[in-house]
Structure 1
């Protein structure tokens, strides 16, 4: 998976998830290295403190799904000069529909949802092995772009409420989820170009449950607060603010019986902070803004500040 844990003294694990797109190596996107612009910026901005980070990019886009997307686009054909737009839309829609629970709720190795869950767990297993016993109590910062926000949210929900969707399959030897693999030490979130509001319109806002992030995570000593930033650009057609989505949850408008059912307490959880940014150049004036987050110096600075805060 390309996790960087060289050297000891790690104080923070950083997971980086990509967004929509085909990562099949056909030149449109890099299967490996999507995180390079962000990682290079943080290395420069943090200096020696970057060595305190266990950096782990997670490529969740399954090759089988990519091949099917490519076939759909190839068989249909795309009109010039809109081929890029057609591929972008097709990739978003197919990623979104593929990451739904399979028909009849059956989990099997042919299900894209199941495969994605296994890919995420596989990355966490690898990182945990490199970190050793320190992983059990190490704070985790998850940075996710676009569809990666949805993928991460589904994994975190399943780890807490439906671990059978992650366990078994092609890796039964892994056994139950560990604390680290279940993201129980999650201490920070940064969403960029998040399209969760587009994918949850089938649920009334009064019933929307956000990803659970404790306000004062035990992994931070129980004293420092967690951070959840949601960064979006107005020209990004897939990037949305989150505050309105979870207003009912954090402002006392959520059903008490539902809270008890899911063992949730909004008062003890961190709410997302929306941050609108403006990109310069072509990205700042077109829908290309959706692909510019990890390259933006404004975004890189915000993420650097989050890392510094979590490192203490």
Structure 2
């Protein structure tokens, strides 16, 4: 049985992809990693990741393009802020029998592929506390009012930046049918923070894969992983959750601009410079918007 890791990236996120791969290879030099191109501007990052880490590009690029276009066309060309995020759904049809998918704004602190051991008992795994914040960024209250999901079922929501499953558990037909169902009821989904794939994929997994396991619900609980949580403590090359006295599995900068001064920037810099090529250019912190622009942006968001 083959096991592997999928990532999505383009040339714009080369630095993040290098940091992620440095962390993966530090704990695991062997597990194969496949790159799903985020768009057509991926050749530079693909060459770098192949040269230094042995990353291979997903073989059937025509399939990825056709799949992602057909999926987001269900909602209309301009509905999603980042429709290319749906390319990651090619994971279901790639070379690995069991896999984990990881966003590039992540660094890992363990041999992350070992989490596929849970797939001996379950069909889908995740490891986060997305559910602790309620259904925000995934669903609206309409899914409860219309009895689409029970409140208990909604405790199964997850963050789309890290998850794992098995090849072909979701078919192309499942994907298209799910998107058609969702397109008929956009009022069920919370896209207010410009999420794209996360609400739809949560709907699909909750509807179609009942054997799910969130690793943070293991006996004794698991640590968090969001970089917006400020209580983690650095111990050497890793972060520890002092509330549980456990090392984090990974750290995810979801929704956070990755730049000098952001949370746990020292950890990201450590893994970025651990190995691989020198940075193409140094990170420069983006100047803060003047007060008048902040006010204008707040008004726009309220409209």
Report the structure, 1 or 2, having the larger helix content: 1
Q: Same fold (TM over 0.5)?
A: no
Instruction: Give the structure-2-normalised TM-score.
Output: 0.29
Instruction: Give the structure-1-normalised TM-score.
Output: 0.28
Q: Which has the higher contact order (CA 8 A, sep 6+)?
A: 2
